[in-house]
């Protein structure tokens, strides 16, 4: 058997593993997934959805019904099961440890709609009959300040794994998972494109924490000596990856950049203010360069490889709406 034939058979078997009977996921069309909402009530109004969605995200009440009500019901089951397991463990260990926050990680490329998903879920989960306390934190605040990235010649790598203060990320999640009160989460300004020095918000023992960022499912090399080396995702109870074809994400990114020239970039305090006054042709060239030289590389090298680590994958189509849902088998 030639090497070429062997390689073909390996590739074919891997494709079968991803989509066939050996896949660790169950796959559903958006219509199939919508049936799982059962009697879950719609607690959001159209005005609220418009307020929660990001620029150019077309999500509406129909999409909330199709996708997010079923997801809310699924997460409710996971949270209840987690709380039950916590009580059983207390009995087993003869301890009285209070329940710890249920942490949901949301990952995916820039411009794919992570922020909208996170905000919609936060509102839906907080409106369960039990009225849980739900907080949302993004990883932007854990980026190194621009001054430090410039000093290390890494500003062009902003958003890559090495641009985050991993130690600070892990300490934050560890404190949250330990049930500590009044944990500080650093803040970030998309206007100034930088961490806000000495500014933070307080996260005080939520029932549920949604933790959103492009690289939250990132893994790392395992130590040869077997020492414990935690990863951010080690603290997650459930993880979601927002997925789409690379070409679509590219188009969404460029379209968003061009629209921001007419909105946020016009603010004189905006880090990107200089792009508001250049010609459309120049702006398009810059947007394409930022995509090709930074965001596409990050997607291929760091973000997309984490997709198989998610518990749930929401696959978007050309209209920016969910077309397929993949749920990891238990």
Q: Which residues are annotated as a binding site for ATP?
A: 108-115
Cα 177 to Cα 98: distance, rounded to the nearest angstrom:
11
Question: Rounded to an integer, what is the distance from CA 303 to the centroid of its chain?
Answer: 10
CA neighbor of 254 nearest in space, from 111, 156, 59: 111
Residue 46 CA neighbour count, 13 Å, CB half: 3
Q: Where are the beta strands (DSSP E) in 192-321?
A: 194-203, 208-212, 238-243, 312-316
Cα 86 to Cα 317: distance, rounded to the nearest angstrom:
39
Yes or no: say if 231 and 218 are a contact pair by the CB < 8 Å rule.
yes
Rounded to 5°, the CA angle 265-210-143 comes to 50
Q: Cβ–Cβ contacts within 10 Å for residue 300, how many?
A: 12
Tell the residue number behind the tokens 């890559």, with chain if given. Answer: 160
Q: Cβ–Cβ contacts within 10 Å for residue 175, how many?
A: 15
Q: What is the DSSP letter of 2?
A: -
**Annotated binding-site positions:** 108-115
| Tokens matching residue 269 | 């305090």
| Tokens matching residue 145 | 């300040």
Q: What is the DSSP letter of 314?
A: E
Between β-strands 312-316 and 322-328, what pairing exists: parallel, antiparallel or unpaired?
antiparallel
Yes or no: say if 209 and 135 are a contact pair by the CB < 8 Å rule.
yes
> If you compute the radius of gyration of the chain from its CA atoms, what whole number of angstroms results?
21
């Amino acid at each position: 058997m030639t090497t070429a034939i062997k390689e073909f058979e390996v590739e074919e078997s891997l494709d079968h593993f991803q989509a066939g009977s050996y896949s660790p996921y169950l796959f559903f069309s958006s219509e199939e997934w919508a049936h799982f909402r059962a009697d879950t009530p719609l607690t959001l109004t159209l005005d609220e959805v418009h307020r929660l969605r990001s620029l150019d995200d077309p999500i509406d009440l129909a999409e909330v019904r199709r996708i997010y009500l079923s997801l809310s019901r699924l997460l409710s089951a996971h949270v209840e099961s987690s709380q039950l397991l916590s009580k059983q463990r207390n009995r087993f260990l003869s301890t009285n440890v209070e329940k710890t926050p249920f942490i949901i990680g949301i990952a995916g490329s820039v411009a794919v709609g992570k922020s909208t998903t996170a905000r919609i879920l936060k509102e839906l989960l907080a409106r369960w009959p039990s009225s849980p306390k739900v907080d949302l934190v993004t990883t932007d605040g854990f980026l190194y300040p621009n001054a430090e990235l410039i000093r290390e010649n890494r500003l062009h790598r902003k958003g890559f794994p090495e641009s985050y203060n991993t130690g600070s990320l892990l300490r934050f999640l560890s404190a949250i998972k330990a049930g500590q009160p009044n944990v500080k989460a650093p803040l970030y300004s998309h206007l100034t494109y930088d961490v806000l020095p000495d500014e933070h918000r307080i996260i005080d023992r939520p029932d549920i924490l949604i933790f959103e960022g492009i690289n939250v499912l990132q893994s790392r090399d395992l130590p040869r000596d077997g020492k414990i080396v935690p990863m951010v995702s080690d603290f997650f109870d459930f993880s979601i990856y927002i997925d789409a074809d690379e070409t679509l994400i590219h188009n969404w990114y460029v379209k968003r950049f061009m629209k921001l020239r007419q909105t946020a970039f016009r603010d004189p305090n905006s880090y990107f203010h200089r792009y508001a006054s250049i010609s459309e042709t120049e702006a398009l060239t810059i947007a394409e360069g930022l995509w090709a030289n930074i965001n596409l590389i990050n997607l291929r090298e760091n973000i997309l490889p984490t997709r198989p680590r998610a518990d749930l994958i929401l696959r978007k189509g050309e209209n920016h709406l969910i077309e397929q849902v993949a749920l990891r088998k238990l």
